[in-house]
């Protein structure tokens, strides 16, 4: 018989001391699970702060090398590069120029870190196009899926030539993973892997990123990025990418899509990454700046929630700092 004043079952016993809590913790968060996204700006002589992402900068080639080596010191295992070109055009020529900023930065970082860090690069045209879309346009201004695939194939090979370990196609074009895999293999880059942004939702939380990459986008990406109301479709996109030989799949954004992370984790056998995006970073930083939340615990709680949802790997602008906090 249960006695209301003297419960027999007491879950609080497992919360009594820090050691007890450590012993029974269900979720781990370690530096090796974190990937640092970084921005590098062509022609920059000083790192430039990004006002909507306090603490994050557009790197110069030199400051990027230093950030990469700090990432290694902190125990991270991955870095994701975004390039910001000096000039843009309709087809995003800078993306496929071996001397373009993304490709030279990949080579810089690869030379700096060797095999100590997995070097990843965002495979997309939006930073390089003057209209800001992730692909090339038809004469009447729509994003042309199949013409874009040809550009992605070319871009993948140039990135692999520069030494990237994983390409991260983020443009949500149909068939992009298959086309990229085929192009890489034909060029002899059979060891270059694909981290597919599989379930990527059109999101208001990308706002600060648009400043970070000096985006030219007018309008939105709703004809290619997913509708936030659709979770089943996120799983379907991930399964399709795996059929097309994606090595890892990603869900993005993370916080408003924790259920999608969980569903994808349960549906696939490859590693699942989640991208803790710019707006998610900015919200915590802004509230902390006002003294409204305690910054460091908020960062760790955020990252833990993404792990608990099922992400094996988290891309986060806090990666280096969080790794340092975790080692304390
Ligand atoms: C597209 C890309 C975007 C992000 C990563 N890759 C922006 C977009 O789709 O509009 C967003 C990352 C972030 O917000 O932190 N190349």
Q: All domains of the chain, ordered by start, with CATH?
A: 28-327 (3.20.20.70)
Which percentage of the chain shows pLDDT scores above 70?
99
Pocket test for ligand 1, best of 58, 133, 170 (most atoms within 8 A of CB): 170
Give the CA distances from residue 17 to residues 10, 13, 24, in Å, rounded to whole numbers and listed in that order: 15, 9, 11
Mean pLDDT throughout 201-219?
A: 94
How many angstroms is it from 209 CA to the middle of ligand 1? 6
| pLDDT of amino acid 95 | 98
Q: For residue 287, name the pLDDT band (cuts at 50, 70, 90).
A: very high
Mean pLDDT throughout 16-26?
A: 98
Calculate the dihedral angle through the C-alpha atoms of 173, 178, 182, 188, rounding to the nearest 10 degrees: 90
Mean pLDDT throughout 15-32?
A: 98
Structure tokens that stand for 105 in this block: 């930065």
Give the model confidence (pLDDT) of 51-72 as tens digits.
Answer: 999 999 999 999 999 999 999 9
Backbone angles phi, psi at 42, to 5 degrees: -65, 135
Which atom of ligand 1 lies at the shortest distance from residue 37's CA?
A: 15
Q: For residue 4, name the pLDDT band (cuts at 50, 70, 90).
A: confident
How many angstroms is it from 208 CA to the middle of ligand 1? 9
Report whether pLDDT(3) > 80.
no
User: Is 209's C-beta closer than 6 angstroms to any atom of ligand 1?
Assistant: yes
Mean per-residue pLDDT of the chain: 97
**190/186 Cα distance (integer angstroms):** 8
Q: For residue 1, name the pLDDT band (cuts at 50, 70, 90).
A: low
Report whether pLDDT(247) > 60.
yes
| pLDDT of amino acid 328 | 86
Report whether pLDDT(2) > 70.
no
**132/128 Cα distance (integer angstroms):** 7
């Amino acid at each position: 018989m249960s006695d209301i004043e003297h419960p027999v079952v007491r879950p609080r016993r497992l919360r009594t001391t820090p050691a007890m809590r450590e012993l029974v913790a269900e979720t781990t968060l370690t530096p090796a699970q974190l990937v640092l996204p970084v921005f590098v700006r062509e022609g920059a002589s000083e790192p430039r702060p990004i006002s909507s992402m306090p603490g994050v900068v557009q790197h110069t080639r030199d400051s990027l090398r230093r950030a990469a080596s700090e990432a290694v010191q902190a125990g991270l295992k991955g870095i994701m590069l975004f390039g910001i070109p000096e000039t843009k055009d309709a087809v995003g020529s800078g993306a496929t120029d071996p001397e373009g900023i993304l490709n030279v930065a990949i080579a810089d970082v690869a030379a700096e870190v060797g095999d100590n860090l997995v070097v990843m690069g965002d495979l997309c045209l939006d930073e390089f196009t003057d209209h800001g879309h992730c692909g090339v346009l038809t004469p009447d201004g729509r994003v042309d899926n199949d013409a874009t695939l040809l550009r992605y194939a070319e871009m993948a090979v140039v990135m692999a030539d520069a030494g990237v370990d994983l390409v991260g196609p983020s443009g949500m074009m149909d068939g992009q993973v298959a086309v990229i895999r085929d192009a890489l293999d034909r060029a002899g880059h059979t060891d270059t892997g694909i981290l597919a942004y599989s379930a990527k939702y059109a999101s208001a939380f990308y706002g600060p990123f648009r400043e970070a990459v000096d985006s030219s986008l007018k309008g939105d990406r709703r004809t290619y990025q997913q509708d936030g109301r659709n979770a089943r479709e996120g799983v379907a996109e991930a399964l399709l990418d795996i059929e097309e030989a994606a090595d890892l799949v990603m869900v993005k954004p993370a916080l408003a899509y924790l259920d999608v992370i969980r569903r994808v984790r349960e549906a696939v056998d490859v590693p699942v990454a989640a991208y803790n995006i710019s707006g998610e970073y900015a919200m915590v930083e802004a509230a902390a700046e006002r003294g409204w939340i305690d910054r460091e615990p908020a960062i760790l709680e955020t990252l833990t929630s993404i792990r608990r949802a099922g992400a094996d790997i988290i891309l986060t602008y806090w990666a280096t700092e969080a790794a340092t906090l975790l080692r304390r």
